[in-house]
Amino acid sequence: MVKQDGYESDHALYARQVRSTFGWLCFLVFFSTLNETVFNVSLPDIAKQFGIAPSVANWVNTSFILSFGVGSLIFSRIADIYSVKKLLIIGLLIYSGGSLMGMIAQSYFPAVAAARMIQGAGASAVPGLIMVIITRYVDKQNRGKAFGLVGSVVALSEGIGPAIGGIVADYIHWSFLFLLPVMTLFTIPFWVKVLPNETKQEGKTDFIGAILLSVGIVTMTLYMTQHQWMYLLIGLLFSILFLMHIRRAEQPFLSPSLLRNRRFIFGVLTGALMLGIVAGFISMVPYMMRDVHALTTGMIGGRILFPGTISVILFGVIGGVLVDKRGVTVVWYLGFMAIAASFVTITLFLDRTPWFMPVVLIFIFGGLSFVKTVISTVVSASLDAEQAGAGMGLLNLVCFLAEGIGIAVVGSLLTEHVVAFPWLLSLQSAKASLYSNVLLILVIFTVISGLAFAWNFKRK
């Protein structure tokens, strides 16, 4: 065997080591994706501590999701050029560095938001690179099991996140949530041992395109929450520069051919709209339960959100089976109707009791699982073989961004006084009217998304 930097470079040996210690991989995935939802229930506490509006407090989640989405695409694009081992370790160090920054600077909100953005940038190394590791070092007959196990761990992590966040925030303080990602540092010795020291491959990374796209996304999101025209103009400018750049770049960050694929773009935008709507609603639940029913952070995370978020695991499996047996149209309508009907139910009975909410949330998360399954199926079918990798990467990016934007927009709506007008006479309080009206807006956009998908599918 050939030795390289003190390690055996034989591919079979590394593959055997990765398979034999798959538990470490699941451990890393769990603590990397946990941060997507663990801060959700703490947003009202953060808003109260700093005396800020929900539109500002929600940037604790929005900043993480935006950098996570862009970073995921960047890391997946450069994994074929740079060493996966080095990229993964760098990502984990950035992730933990952002976590320590947030813990130390917990009394200054801009630093907290910046720390969450750094966390997202570091954590974004995990999903794409884990897929690369499985593809390279797990044999084909076991690869499906590996992907399925990772998917289950992701669903479990996202589902249990609100419960963990609620317990920590209730009994200690929300800032201690920043310490959870430091657990990923324990996996670094494992990756140093089992992953080969790959050399840099030929290729170029379009960092200019990545920067232009990132600035455009962040500033456009800032405009949606702050309503300042300067952010809109900057966002449009960088978006135009990005489109001009990828037409000239030798190896662009995003292929222009993807943007000319109408079916692909329509499927991505339709799914992203639905994901953004649900993400915005979920970010509103802690505020709603706190203001209308005076529930504690721990109760919101453990009793309200937990049953719905954990049900994603079951509904994800059911959605996949139904797509194979009944087709995407049936599954889409089931998901769409579950989400829309649940929103209407909450709108009408919001101030009656909080305990119908866990049941309704199960239908919302179940509907979301169905929608995700359909969108992945439809979008992948619209891509040629050579476009598949970049296309699915772009789908993940847009969906992450839609979630971040949805959270930011709902936070902005909660600060608008006109939205608090009591349209429904059945509600007993002004606070309930505010959340009910935001839900009515979400219902409208849910219907638009559902009809747009139906129209596009009919055209096919």
Q: Does one domain contain both 239 and 259?
A: no
Nearest of 370, 197, 360 to residue 274 by alpha carbon: 370
Q: How far apart are the first and last CA of the chain?
A: 55
The DSSP code sequence of 161-180 is HHHHHHHHHHHT-GGGGGGG
Looking at the fold, whether 162 and 195 belong to one and the same domain comes out as yes
- H or E element that contains 7: strand 7-8
Q: Are residues 272 and 238 in the same domain?
A: no
Q: Considering just the CA atoms, what is the radius of gyration of the chain in Å?
A: 22
Same domain for 235 and 330?
A: no
Last residue of a domain, one of 168, 202, 236: 202
Residues 244 and 261 in one domain: no
Q: 10 Å Cβ neighbour count for 387?
A: 17
Q: Domain check: are 235 and 291 in the same one? A: no
Of 250, 265, 280, the one marking the end of a domain is 250
Q: Tell me, yes or no, whether 66 and 210 share the same domain.
A: no
**Based on the structure, what is the number of domains in the chain?**
3
Query: Do 228 and 166 sit in the same domain of this protein?
Result: no
- Among 225, 250, 275, which residue terminates a domain? 250
Q: Tens of pLDDT along the chain (460 residues)?
A: 334 444 444 555 555 655 556 677 788 888 888 888 889 888 899 999 999 988 888 889 888 988 888 888 788 777 767 788 888 899 999 999 999 999 999 999 999 999 999 999 999 888 767 767 776 666 666 665 666 667 667 777 877 888 888 888 888 999 999 999 888 898 888 888 877 776 666 667 777 888 888 888 888 877 876 778 888 899 899 989 988 988 888 777 777 777 778 888 888 888 889 989 998 898 899 988 988 888 888 888 888 888 887 777 778 778 777 877 888 888 888 989 999 999 999 988 888 888 889 999 999 988 888 888 888 778 777 777 666 666 767 777 788 788 888 888 888 888 776 666 665 545 556 677 888 888 989 999 999 988 888 777 664 4
SS3 121: helix
Q: Which domain holds residue 223?
A: 206-250
State whether 307 and 362 are in the same domain: yes
Instruction: Looking at the structure, tell me whether residues 146 and 227 fall in a common domain.
Output: no
Report residue 294 as tokens: 């005076």
Please check whether residues 144 and 217 belong to one and the same domain.
no
DSSP-derived secondary structure letter, 8: E
166 and 243 in one domain?
A: no
94 neighbors 122 (Cβ within 8 angstroms): yes
> Domain holding 117: CATH number?
1.20.1250.20
Residue 386 CB: number of other CB atoms within 10 A?
10
